[in-house]
């Protein structure tokens, strides 16, 4: 026995030795691949785009040339009050130097030529959207060939939107900017480049089709300018430049609606080029593209110190195929995690307001830094950040809308899952976040083109100045030198009822829900720089840290600290009463949106609103009510009736509303209104056609009854106009096939229920006089059909 055990032990040791030798001979294991944190930069647009230079590598200051800024409003001689942009093109097409899509004929006349001159329509009924201009599909875009000594324009890059350019005279060019995709307007943002100018050459630019009636350009605002050679030589980034700037009513009339005869507005400015062969970019404000966002997020995720506080997730895919990101910033520590407050930031619902992206970048950079205030906020808050809600609009150069042609900040009440995916999923995400923990603050970041400084729109039903909704706004104005509290407004306007601010405030019961507006211009007639927008985001975080300290005193040893909220309320009580009227509102223009009958041609039926569905039903009803030509061939009529009967279900319990048109209903049982007792004028009875029986279907009892029902329905109008049932009289089934039960015979009009469809009308009874014919009809009717 011992020998056997020794043998087994020896064999086991030999096996272990072999396994060990085998393992040692194996190649070393591959190192674990690190988890990919960065984002693939894949920007999808409706048409090909060129790459932009690396803007904003460093934020340098610049000197404002206030001496050159002169507002000279010229005297305009109105030639024709009814001129449109299409009329202008017909008059000046020989002077065309640039059009964005080379293969298109801008002067092509169609039935809707006054609506789509500068609009692109993207059809999303297919998997890949197709873009159309005045009925022609776009497949490629090219620059119009120009001679080398001419000025060359370009906007075929991300966020660019120059549609066409004309050389009006030497060194004078008229420009037309493109409407938002799938809209008839929303033209305020502009972004284009110019090459071919000589050093010292001064050019006048006239942008002919601006939307808004007022602008900060008349108060000293200058266009944003970026020179490639100036950046290479001196390192200058985006700056403000230009002179002789004016903004005034244009001579051209809007194409929508033409009957109102509303006019466009025109921007005129001059610029002197500093270098030969330079490429200079012009924009309404410092651009911030979708590519800029992805590159910034990658820089944060690649930083080992910052990415431990930052995580990203794809919220959804937009209509154009781009991604909408959602970021989470908080401390990795599990201590007090359940007691942390929730904070939500949103930006770029309006793609033509890049100030929101710079403020958002300042917030993200501060919250992921080693600043003590940032560390305190991470320990006590969980931040949910939506950095770019409308990435499609940013990529394609829109000012106000997304690719569906609507303002996303007017879709928060009931967003469509397919048309407004970023709004739909962001609202769902925030509502779920509110169930997890208390949300302390929600800020939606925007830009304002008609007011100076930065300010907020808040929500409050009361007009009293001493309310809790105003506390955080006043605190932000204390710590932010760029914010003006006197410009803040706290109202719940009907025109803005569907915005993110009002809907989240109303549904989630959060006191501090704000729309944070940063001016396109600046403060006290001094331009904001990019650094100033970044500092606005830092100031929001600093004000938030004071509020968080004030709300968490019961969990710390800071009970002796002064109450910040109480101090703000006392200061608010000393302020005079205000009417909270916003004279410089940036509300959207609903008239620029396409009509419902145009939108249903561009999107799938699952995206239709109730108004659009009712419109389609009305159109179908109108088409059915059109007079039809009588069919002389009776056999074809009977054959079609027979086919419709064979396609129906033999169910007897189905109920359906009475048909509203002359179309034959499918079900034999339906309700009809009993005729009212009105005095009728004697009418000359027209001879009725004889009842034609299709003998080919008499072999089937049910099919024959169905055919008789169909013939009875054709006569229902004549039957009930000429026949009035007697009150409280029952006709037995043995006397007639038709039986009426009269209800409520005291006060109301007679309303009867037809338990069985009339097979022998009054006109037919005279013809079927033979008793044998009556018995034959009763045999095919049957007692079950009568009940």
Catalytic sites, residue numbers: 517
Contact in structure between 122 and 130 (CB atoms under 8 Å): yes
Q: Tokens representing 295?
A: 């590159």
Outline where DSSP puts E strands in 261-363: 263-272, 279-283, 310-317, 323-329, 341-347
159: region left, alpha or beta (phi > 0 left; psi from -120 to 50 alpha): left
Task: Name 771's Cβ contacts closer than 8 Å, sequence gap at least 6.
Answer: none
Contact in structure between 75 and 248 (CB atoms under 8 Å): no
Phi, psi of 73 (to 5 degrees): -90, 115
Q: How far from the centroid of its chain's Cα atoms is residue 538's Cα?
A: 30
Residues listed for the chain: 787
Number of DSSP helices (H) and strands (E) in the chain, helices first: 20, 26
Residue in 459, 515, 461, 453 with CA at minimum distance from that of residue 485: 453
Buried b (16+ CB within 10 A) or exposed e, 662-699: eeebebbbbeeebbeeeeeeeeeeeeeeebeebeebee
Phi, psi of 356 (to 5 degrees): -60, -35
- Report the DSSP beta bridge partners of residue 173: 167, 205
Longest dimension (CA), the chain: 127
Phi, psi of 682 (to 5 degrees): -60, 125
Contact in structure between 215 and 247 (CB atoms under 8 Å): yes
Give the three-state DSSP class for 188: coil
- Report the DSSP beta bridge partners of residue 323: 317
Contact in structure between 452 and 525 (CB atoms under 8 Å): yes
Q: Tokens representing 391?
A: 């990435």
The C-alpha atoms of residue 223 and residue 280 are separated, in whole angstroms, by 12
Look at the alpha carbons of 654, 655, 657, 663 in this order and tell me if their dihedral is positive or negative.
positive
Look at the alpha carbons of 662, 664, 665, 670 in this order and tell me if their dihedral is positive or negative.
positive
Contact in structure between 269 and 205 (CB atoms under 8 Å): yes
Residue written as tokens 């006590």?
380
Q: Tokens representing 766?
A: 């005279």
Q: Report the chain's terminal Cα–Cα distance, integer Å.
A: 97
Buried b (16+ CB within 10 A) or exposed e, 201-239: eebbbbbbbbbeeebbbebbbbbbbbbbbbbeeeebbbb
Please, is 243 exposed, middle or buried when counting C-beta atoms within 10 Å of its C-beta (0-12, 13-18, 19+)?
Answer: middle
Q: Tokens representing 328?
A: 């989470």
């Amino acid at each position: 026995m011992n020998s056997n055990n020794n043998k087994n032990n020896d064999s086991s040791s030999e096996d272990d030795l072999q396994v060990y030798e085998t393992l040692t001979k194996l190649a070393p294991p591959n190192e674990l691949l690190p988890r990919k944190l960065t984002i693939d930069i894949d920007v999808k647009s409706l048409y090909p785009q060129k790459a932009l230079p690396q803007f904003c590598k460093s934020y340098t200051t610049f000197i404002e040339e206030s001496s050159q800024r002169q507002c000279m409003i010229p005297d305009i001689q109105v030639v024709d009050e009814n001129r449109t942009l299409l009329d202008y093109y017909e008059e000046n097409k020989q002077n065309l130097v640039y059009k964005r899509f080379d293969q298109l004929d801008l002067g092509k006349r169609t039935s809707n030529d006054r609506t789509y001159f500068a609009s692109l329509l993207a059809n999303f009924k297919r998997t890949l959207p197709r873009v159309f201009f005045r009925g022609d599909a776009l497949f490629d875009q090219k620059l119009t060939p120009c001679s080398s000594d001419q000025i060359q324009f370009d906007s075929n890059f991300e966020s660019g939107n120059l549609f066409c350019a004309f050389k009006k005279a030497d060194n004078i060019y008229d420009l037309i900017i493109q409407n938002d995709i799938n809209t008839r307007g929303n033209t305020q943002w502009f972004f284009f480049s110019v090459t071919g100018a000589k050093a010292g050459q001064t050019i006048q630019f006239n942008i002919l089709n601006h939307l808004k009636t007022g602008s900060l350009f008349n108060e000293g605002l200058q266009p944003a300018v970026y020179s490639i050679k100036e950046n290479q030589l001196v390192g200058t980034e985006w700056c403000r430049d230009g002179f002789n700037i004016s903004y005034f009513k244009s001579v051209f009339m809007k194409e929508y609606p033409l009957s109102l005869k509303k006019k466009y507005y025109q921007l005129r400015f001059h610029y002197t080029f500093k270098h030969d062969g330079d490429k200079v970019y012009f924009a309404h404000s410092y651009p911030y593209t979708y590519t800029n966002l992805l590159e910034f997020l990658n820089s944060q995720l690649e930083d080992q110190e910052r990415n431990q506080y930052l995580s990203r997730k794809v919220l959804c895919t937009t209509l154009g195929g781009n991604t909408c990101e959602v970021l989470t910033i908080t401390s990795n520590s599990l201590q007090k995690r359940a007691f942390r407050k929730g904070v939500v930031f949103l930006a770029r619902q309006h793609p033509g307001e890049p100030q929101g992206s710079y403020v958002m970048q300042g917030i993200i950079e501060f919250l992921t830094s080693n600043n003590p205030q940032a560390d305190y906020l991470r320990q006590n808050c969980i931040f949910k950040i939506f950095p770019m809600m409308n990435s499609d609009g940013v990529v394609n150069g829109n000012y106000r809308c997304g690719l569906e042609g609507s303002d996303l900040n007017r879709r928060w009440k009931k967003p469509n899952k397919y048309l407004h995916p970023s709004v739909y999923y962001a609202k769902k995400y925030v509502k779920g976040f509110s169930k997890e923990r208390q949300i302390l603050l929600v800020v939606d970041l925007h830009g304002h083109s008609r007011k100076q400084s930065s300010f907020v729109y808040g929500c409050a039903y009361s007009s009293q100045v001493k309310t809790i909704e105003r506390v955080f706004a006043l605190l932000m104005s204390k710590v932010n030198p760029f914010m003006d509290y006197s410009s803040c407004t706290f109202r719940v306007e009907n025109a803005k009822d569907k915005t993110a601010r009002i809907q989240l405030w109303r549904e989630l019961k959060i006191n501090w829900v704000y729309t944070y507006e940063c001016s396109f211009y600046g403060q006290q007639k001094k331009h904001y720089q990019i650094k100033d927008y970044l500092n606005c985001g830092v100031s929001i975080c600093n004000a938030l840290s004071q509020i968080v300290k004030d709300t968490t005193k019961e969990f710390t040893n800071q009970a002796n600290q002064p109450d910040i909220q109480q101090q703000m309320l006392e200061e608010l009580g000393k302020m005079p009463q205000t009417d909270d009227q916003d004279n410089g509102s940036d509300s959207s223009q609903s008239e620029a949106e396409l009509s419902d009958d145009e939108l249903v041609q561009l999107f799938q039926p699952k995206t239709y609103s109730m108004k659009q569905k009712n419109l389609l039903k009305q159109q179908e009803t109108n088409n059915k009510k059109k007079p039809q030509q009588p069919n002389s061939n009776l056999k074809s009529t009977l054959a079609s009736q027979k086919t419709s009967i064979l396609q129906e279900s033999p169910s007897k319990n189905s109920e359906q509303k009475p048909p509203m048109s002359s179309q034959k209903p499918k079900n034999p049982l339906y309700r009809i209104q009993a005729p009212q007792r009105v005095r009728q004028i004697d009418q000359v009875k027209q001879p009725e056609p004889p009842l034609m029986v299709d003998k080919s279907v008499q072999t089937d009892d049910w099919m024959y009854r169905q055919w008789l029902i169909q013939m009875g329905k054709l006569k229902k109008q004549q039957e009930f106009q000429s026949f009035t049932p007697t009150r409280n009289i029952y006709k037995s089934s043995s006397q007639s096939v038709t039986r009426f039960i009269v209800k409520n015979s005291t006060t109301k009009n007679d309303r009867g229920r037809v338990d069985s469809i009339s097979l022998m009308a009054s006109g037919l009874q005279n013809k079927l006089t033979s008793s044998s014919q009556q018995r034959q009809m009763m045999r095919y009717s049957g007692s079950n059909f009568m009940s």
